[in-house]
A and B are shown apart, each in its own frame.
Chain A
Amino acid sequence: MMLHALSPMGFPCGAPTLVRGGFREGLSVSECSDFGCVLLTATVDITDFQQELLRLTGVELPLLSGLVVQADGRYVVWLSPRSWLILCRLDEEPKLLDSINSNFPCRSIHASAFSDYLCWLSLEGEAAEDALRQGGFISLANDGLPAGCARRTLMSGIPAIIHRKTAIKWMIGIERSYASYFSQWLKSQNVG
């Protein structure tokens, strides 16, 4: 028996899918259900474990707010001084979980399955930033959110992780249960 997987927006899992219909001009939205995700939480200061984690994950964990580190197709997003989000390919998640948790049997560093927690949307286009600014402060930092950085914030009242990849390309991770609402909200911005 094998169950088929559906993305938060109801698409078959595993490949980016363009979300059609109703978004404002200059904004295209895709759901990226090819992303896997691991939530890494630490019970201790991880400074002493950096090298070990680098070996296990292939990416160095950023230690400052807003930083995103990328290596070998994986991204690590700083969430708090003791938690990170490791974005990988969907099929890499179980292996990553296993390698971290088996390496720390006392769970002083713990990896949780998180691929299904977030709905990742890619917003692309000149109008993307404007649409997001209607939903909340993308960043409370005065210079906004520079390309290559990420923040946890509230977007249209929903907790979200925003990763600005380029000037006009944004990745937004929102809790899966809000996917439908968020998509509707994005469409409501079509009046510009």
Chain B
Amino acid sequence: MIHRLAQGGKIDRSQKLSFKFNGRRMYGHTGDTLASALLVNGVRVIGRSLKYHRPRGLYGAGAEDPNAMLAVRDAYGYDPAIRAGQVRLVEGLDVKTVTGWPSAQFDIGAVAQLPAPILIAGFYYKTFMWPNWSWFEGAIQNATGYGKPSSNADNRRYEHRHDTCDVLIIGAGPAGLAAARGLIGSGLRVVLVDDNLQPGGSLLWEEGTIDSRCALDWAANTVTTLKAEGILILTSTTVSGAYDENFFTMIESLHDDFGVVGERLWKLRANKVVLATGSTERPVMFQNNDRPGVMLSSAVRRFIAEFGAAPGKKLAVFANNDSGYLTAIAARRAGIDVPVLIDSRSRHELPHATLAESLGIQCVFDAEVTDTTGYKGLKQVSVSTSRGKKQYQCDALAVAGGWTPLIHLAAHRGAKPVYDADRNMFLCPEAPENWHIIGGAAGCLSLADALRGGHNAGDVIFASARPSPVASCEIEYGQVSVLWQTRAGKPNKKWVDLQNDVKVSDVSTAAMENYVSVEHLKRYTTLGMGTDQGRTSNVNGLAILAQVTGREISDVGTTTFRPPYTAIRMNTIAGKRQGDLYRPRRQMPGHQVHVKAGAVFDDFGWERPDWYKSNGGDRESAVSTEMAAVRHAVGVFDGSPLGKIEIAGPDAREFLNRFYVSNLMTLKAGRVRYSFMLKEDGVIFDDGVIACVDDNLFLAGPTSGNAAGVAAWFEKWRQTEWPSMKVAIAPVTANWASIALAGPKARELLRLLEPDFDISDDSFPHMSFREGLVAGVTARVARVSFTGELQYEISVPARYAVALLETVLRLGSDKGGCLIGMEAWLRLRLEKGYIHLGSDTNGRTTPLDIGMAGIVARKEADFIGKRSLSLPFAISEECEQLVGVRSALTPLPIGGRILTPGIERPPCASIGYVTSACISPSAGNIGMALIERGAERMGETVRIYDNGQIIEAEICSPVFVDPDHERLQK
């Protein structure tokens, strides 16, 4: 561990951990991050840049690092791309670089540096559009990205947790801790969240005293007190998004000594919010500022103080503010050689220079870095001062260019970032309602101010008599003197965004091409679009854009901040919703009977039998058996998912009449009517039967998949448009199991169930409804048909579903009865010419297109969508109308396009398509199709195109079986 300092850091030096980096065994200590462990093992190159494949090293210590994306495998799982500073070092980590081929050290892709002058912003957009983008797309995609996801499931556990709290404090640095401390004794439910392994924030690595004790001790003591007071402290937890009504998503990482055991996605609602997320340092842009060894100044301090890791043997510092002095002094005190501190400011502004110089650090003023050398690791910096130029040998360079407050979460809530020219940073002066923005996030650059701000925020929420903590620091960050880029150096060698290889010259190019809006700049250059979300680059990019367009930074503005704040594992979002638990499954109440009968289930919104193995060895033979049973004997179909909504009240009839196309004012008690309901645009929304139980009670039967939607549609109109109507809506679908008996022997079978009412054709004709006892239990029976055969739908309380099905099957077995699956059921209705909503209709189909123009014309009363049926779109000659199609030889393809008459093959316009099709045992290759002016084309032969094949078919009536409906009346 060649860069491990002899002492210092919060690591446990007694615990040695081994890990592998690109197959090479390395060592670190408990308390290290992967970044600090790589640093102390002397790893300089950890990847290659996106476009030019330039060598890149560690740049930051945490989430802000644009370079350190690595593939990491621990004992529980594999992450194809994760930032080294966010990985806690554990025994046995296997780490690989994810950029560069064959390796990051020796990357053939580095030849891209040769044509770099032409690989400018917009190069790909312009160059690869000809002759066809798709020719290049694959190769370009392969050249980008980080790591390859594993196809194996990991062993981590993922869970979700929902909670509420009175106060959410985001950030457990000095400001956040001071705010939490102020809430002690308030009785409020407080949640304090921090994305680091331990609370303390910058106190973990910055020097200072609070209330006359070491700042770190103060933090530890405060945390102990907060815990004792019942304040929930979540470490290793990142708040990833802030949404309306103070709803937050947070990712809590769960660790043990072998890796990330799992993650917990918190969904938290808070009454009040304290944003204490701090700020991140930004660099200054100079020539070749991307070499391995160039790092953020604060990251260097953190590596030294928290991890006892030296960034190099000789550290130069370049600063436009006092952060550079903090770093230089900390490094010198840790025993690192600091040959030079390059300050862009003048000597007289800097009282801290004296201290630095007293430690033997040479400080040069009114100076800037003009260039660096060293391909795979920094070797030298060139410095320009008023006295001339000079080179300094060093293997690390800390850069301090100012601070960028982490205001992302406030911006998620719509707070507008405003540029503060005095402090050279974007701030949110108007916090969201019930938010307090404090500390670094509020632009605070001194520990004392951060503590005071935190204390005051706590005091506003809960007025305690407790005094604010008092801090004292040897050196603070001080004011930032503006220096975005050095005067010297070529713009095409100054990197703005290290992750996406965006340079100062790219921003200029974009501006020259009139991409002067910050949103356009972002998309044209990809500035800030990397996985680091431009934490170190965005503000610098805006400053450059402002410079080259002659505007103020405040006029340039920022791009939109969107969640998530940092990358989230897809598994964490999914939580338990994987495998069988992927989404809620619905089972019919008679599910176990279908299982026993060998049902092959399919997802129709409910798990429903598609066909039964008990009826045939394969799907076609089973479906054929099932269809034959219905046509010649009796079939038993479980229609329990069919919607059931009770509409009750004195205005129930009038209410329903406003929805359905048919006239329900004349529907008598005990009778059933089939109809459609439309949306306001006249397009069919649902179909089904409506039974009149009595004058004040109706039973609507929407389609299975639309049952909830129709109930909500009823409620919407009742509540918003017709609140004075006396009507109640009770969706009761799941309360009832509905078993249909269909076929010529259906009545015989129903009779065996001993109904306590007359079921003869005279007393219980087609399209009627009865309530009574069937098989000894309460039942609702409708004589309706979806198959074209005599059919009864028996609804009983769902607890009797299994018994009723078993009884019906037992009694029906000697009548040739069997269970019917969905496929046979749908084919039977197709033979009969009954439509299947969603298959035979689309987002344009009106009742006029499916042969219901007469019913519409006859209904005088208004109904939803009626007016739209007289508009040109509904009565246009180009409307597709539903017709039957029949092919002599070839089965018809669902979705097959019907070619314009007279055209042999595509390409040509299509006049419609096949909506349903099947091979009917009695009618052959039949189908339904929506065809322009279909009703006028009866007998016409059309050509249907499907997947290279042309099929000829005749347009015909959609009713292929029992056109006179005699079977329904038997």
The answer to whether B775 touches A113, judged by C-beta atoms less than 8 angstroms apart, is no
Verify if B633 is at the interface (C-beta below 8 Å from A).
no
Q: Which residues of B contact A117 (CB under 8 A)?
A: 732, 734-735, 798
Q: Which residues of B contact A5 (CB under 8 A)?
A: 797, 799-800, 803
Within 8 A of A (CB), among B766-814: 775-778, 796-804, 807
Smallest distance from the beta carbon of B95 to chain A beta carbons, Å? 27
Verify if B316 is at the interface (C-beta below 8 Å from A).
no
The answer to whether B800 touches A177, judged by C-beta atoms less than 8 angstroms apart, is no
Q: Measured between alpha carbons, how far is A20 from B504 in the docked complex, in Å? A: 66
Q: Measured between alpha carbons, how far is A105 from B696 in the docked complex, in Å? A: 8
The answer to whether A136 touches B800, judged by C-beta atoms less than 8 angstroms apart, is no
Smallest distance from the beta carbon of B424 to chain A beta carbons, Å? 39
Q: How many residues of B contact A (CB 8 A)?
A: 64
Report if A116-B271 is in contact (Cβ < 8 Å); known contacts: A2-B776, A10-B592, A134-B159: no
The answer to whether A158 touches B584, judged by C-beta atoms less than 8 angstroms apart, is yes
The answer to whether B803 touches A4, judged by C-beta atoms less than 8 angstroms apart, is yes
The answer to whether B583 touches A134, judged by C-beta atoms less than 8 angstroms apart, is no
Within 8 A of A (CB), among B648-685: 648-652
The answer to whether B803 touches A3, judged by C-beta atoms less than 8 angstroms apart, is yes
Q: Which residues of A contact B79 (CB under 8 A)?
A: none
Q: Which residues of B contact A44 (CB under 8 A)?
A: 726
Verify if A70 is at the interface (C-beta below 8 Å from B).
no
The answer to whether B799 touches A191, judged by C-beta atoms less than 8 angstroms apart, is no
Smallest distance from the beta carbon of A185 to chain B beta carbons, Å? 6
The answer to whether B796 touches A113, judged by C-beta atoms less than 8 angstroms apart, is no
B39-47, B161-169, B173-181, B211-219 - interface stretch = B161-169
Verify if B589 is at the interface (C-beta below 8 Å from A).
yes
Q: Which residues of B contact A177 (CB under 8 A)?
A: 586-589, 606, 641, 734
Verify if A147 is at the interface (C-beta below 8 Å from B).
no
Q: Which residues of A contact B802 (CB under 8 A)?
A: 6
Indicate with 1 or 0, residue by residue over B710-743, a CB within 8 angstroms of chain A CB atoms. Answer: 0000000000000001111110101111000000
Indicate with 1 or 0, residue by residue over B256-295, a CB within 8 angstroms of chain A CB atoms. Answer: 0000000000010101000000000000000000000000
Report if A114-B732 is in contact (Cβ < 8 Å); known contacts: A134-B161, A184-B581: yes
The answer to whether B696 touches A107, judged by C-beta atoms less than 8 angstroms apart, is yes
Q: Which range contains the number of A residues in contact with the other chain? A: 35 or more
Write the chain A residue with the least CB distance to B583: A157
Indicate with 1 or 0, residue by residue over A1-42, a CB within 8 angstroms of chain B CB atoms. Answer: 111111110100100000000000000000001000001011
Q: Measured between alpha carbons, how far is A137 from B641 in the docked complex, in Å? A: 28
A107, A115, A181, A184: the one contacting B652 at CB < 8 Å is A107
The answer to whether B797 touches A39, judged by C-beta atoms less than 8 angstroms apart, is no
Q: Which residues of A contact B650 (CB under 8 A)?
A: 43, 106-108
The answer to whether B799 touches A7, judged by C-beta atoms less than 8 angstroms apart, is yes
Report if A41-B728 is in contact (Cβ < 8 Å); known contacts: A134-B161, A178-B584, A181-B584: yes
The answer to whether B730 touches A110, judged by C-beta atoms less than 8 angstroms apart, is yes
Verify if A140 is at the interface (C-beta below 8 Å from B).
yes
Smallest distance from the beta carbon of A89 to chain B beta carbons, Å? 14
Within 8 A of B (CB), among A116-170: 116-118, 133-138, 140-144, 156-158
Smallest distance from the beta carbon of B303 to chain A beta carbons, Å? 36
A residues neighboring B (CB under 8 Å): 1-8, 10, 13, 33, 39, 41-44, 82-83, 94, 105-110, 112-118, 133-138, 140-144, 156-158, 175-182, 184-185, 188-189, 191
**Given A6-B800, A94-B778, 12 other A-B residues pairs in contact with their CB atoms under 8 A:** A3-B777, A4-B800, A5-B800, A107-B650, A109-B728, A113-B797, A115-B797, A118-B734, A136-B162, A142-B271, A175-B734, A189-B159
10 shortest A-B CB distances, which residue pairs? A41-B728, A3-B803, A110-B648, A43-B649, A177-B586, A116-B798, A5-B799, A107-B648, A43-B726, A117-B735
- Between-chain CB contacts (< 8 Å), 24 pairs: A3-B775, A3-B800, A5-B800, A6-B799, A10-B592, A43-B650, A83-B728, A94-B778, A110-B730, A112-B730, A115-B797, A116-B589, A116-B799, A117-B734, A133-B161, A134-B162, A134-B575, A135-B160, A138-B162, A156-B584, A157-B577, A177-B587, A177-B641, A188-B576
